[in-house]
A and B are shown apart, each in its own frame.
Chain A
Amino acid sequence: MFPSVRVQRLPQGGLTLALGLCLSLCLSCSAGAAQSGLAYLGEELRALQADPFANPGLLWVDRGTALWQAAPAPGVPACASCHGAPESLRAVIPTLPRWNPATERLENLEGLIRQCQSARQHQPPAPYESEALLALTTRLAHGARGLPLSGAVAQEAAPALARGEAFFRERRGQLGLSCADCHERYAGARLRGDRVSEGMINGFPIYRLTWQTLGSRHRMFRWCNEAVRAEPYPFGAEPYLELELFLRHRGAGLPLETPAVRR
């Protein structure tokens, strides 16, 4: 999984273990194919994620199944009334966020659900990180588990994709770090007791031990922005949608793992 420590002999004959390690780490992250955050977890967390009973994210899957069936108010259709089983949308999930030609904007899973809640169910849309929205997004993404993230981006979304990549590579915050600094250049290296992942988004919403709960992609972006001491954008903000689009494109081919367990 991780590159093994390479011991190199320098011309002067000194053994530099540290340099060898650094070098092999950097080579592996630039050359290798995209790897899910799963690959950067220890044995125990990988087992927890794979456990079909004890993965804590499954609590939200259960709740999402119930919400999917239930009409939010009398005389209003339930999600299931129009869509049938949540799995009927599984082909759409790996293509999100995507370009909506009608609105000429990007839309992600949270946005689509919120839009349906207000337009079809005539309800106030569930806010980001509410239990209801997390349960629904988790249930839908869970139904698409195993499908590869799509790398396809509509022609009209090309500028948004470019802005997403620019966001990823731009240094920000008091620490002056870009997403790419940690998740590309130093992916696989140690940060305190942790191993830096590639920042892939194929497991979201994730059950994160740090949060002791489930969180969306945008919560993770906000968390990361705060960690480099940058002002985070609001949930659902355009820069985060563009970043999400870029990260889907960047992680194309990775299987969806929702609900993933992460540290």
Chain B
Amino acid sequence: MGTLSLPVRLALPAEAPAGGVVSLRLLLQHPMETGYRIGEDGARIPRHILTRLRVSYGDRVIADLTLRPAIAANPYFALSFIADETGPVTLEVEDDRGATLTETRMLTVVP
């Protein structure tokens, strides 16, 4: 299945009709600290953000996002695509401190 070092909630149906629209929903627990805030001790709070989110379906990359500091903590992502083949849907997430998440789910196309 993959390494899970980031708490995540992932919703993806296991089956979809051929040509049907599939929606993928993703909720990640992450501080998304911008690096611009000053802490109580007067020092800058170091940046700690997610930097990349990639979703592939079969051998195609269907979403590849570069993430920036202006995203709220615990971000939520949703995307939809058309189910045209049975294959793995792979999610890859990384942050700027080396935490990664790789998760694969099978999507079966039913006639």
Cβ 8 A contact of B74, one of A53, A62, A63, A213? A213
CA distance A63 to B73 in the complex (A): 17
In the complex, which residues of chain B have a beta carbon less than 8 angstroms from the beta carbon of A213?
A: 31, 73-74
Whether a CB of chain A sits under 8 angstroms from the CB of B72 is: yes
User: Contact: A53 with B72, CB < 8 Å?
Assistant: no
User: Contact: B73 with A59, CB < 8 Å?
Assistant: no
CA distance A215 to B9 in the complex (A): 20
Cβ 8 A contact of A63, one of B7, B25, B72? B7
Number of CB contacts from chain A to chain B under 8 A: 30
In the complex, which residues of chain A have a beta carbon less than 8 angstroms from the beta carbon of B31?
A: 212-213
Whether a CB of chain A sits under 8 angstroms from the CB of B27 is: yes
Residues of chain A from 27 to 60 with CB closer than 8 A to chain B in the complex: 53-54, 56, 58-59
In the complex, which residues of chain A have a beta carbon less than 8 angstroms from the beta carbon of B81?
A: none
In the complex, which residues of chain B have a beta carbon less than 8 angstroms from the beta carbon of A53?
A: 9, 11, 25, 27
CA distance A42 to B32 in the complex (A): 25
Q: Give 29 A-B contacts (CB < 8 Å), ordered by A residue.
A: A53-B9, A53-B11, A53-B25, A53-B27, A54-B25, A54-B27, A54-B76, A56-B27, A56-B29, A56-B74, A58-B9, A58-B27, A59-B7, A59-B9, A59-B27, A59-B29, A59-B74, A62-B7, A62-B9, A63-B7, A63-B29, A212-B31, A212-B32, A212-B72, A212-B73, A212-B74, A213-B31, A213-B73, A213-B74
Query: In the complex, which residue of chain A has the Cβ closest to the Cβ of B72?
Result: A212
In the complex, which residues of chain B have a beta carbon less than 8 angstroms from the beta carbon of A212?
A: 31-32, 72-74
CB distance from A156 to the nearest CB of B (A): 39
CA distance A128 to B27 in the complex (A): 25
CB distance from B20 to the nearest CB of A (A): 19
Listed in ascending order, the chain A residues whose CB lies under 8 Å from chain B are 53-54, 56, 58-59, 62-63, 212-213
In the complex, which residues of chain B have a beta carbon less than 8 angstroms from the beta carbon of A54?
A: 25, 27, 76
Query: In the complex, which residue of chain B has the Cβ closest to the Cβ of A214?
Result: B74
CA distance A59 to B25 in the complex (A): 14
In the complex, which residues of chain A have a beta carbon less than 8 angstroms from the beta carbon of B76?
A: 54, 56
CA distance A59 to B73 in the complex (A): 12
Query: In the complex, which residue of chain A has the Cβ closest to the Cβ of B25?
Result: A53
In the complex, which residues of chain B have a beta carbon less than 8 angstroms from the beta carbon of A63?
A: 7, 29
Residues of chain B from 4 to 21 with CB closer than 8 A to chain A in the complex: 7, 9, 11
In the complex, which residues of chain B have a beta carbon less than 8 angstroms from the beta carbon of A62?
A: 7, 9
Query: In the complex, which residue of chain B has the Cβ closest to the Cβ of A135?
Result: B7
Residues of chain B from 50 to 90 with CB closer than 8 A to chain A in the complex: 72-74, 76
CA distance A213 to B30 in the complex (A): 10
Query: In the complex, which residue of chain B has the Cβ closest to the Cβ of A63?
Result: B7
CB distance from A133 to the nearest CB of B (A): 16
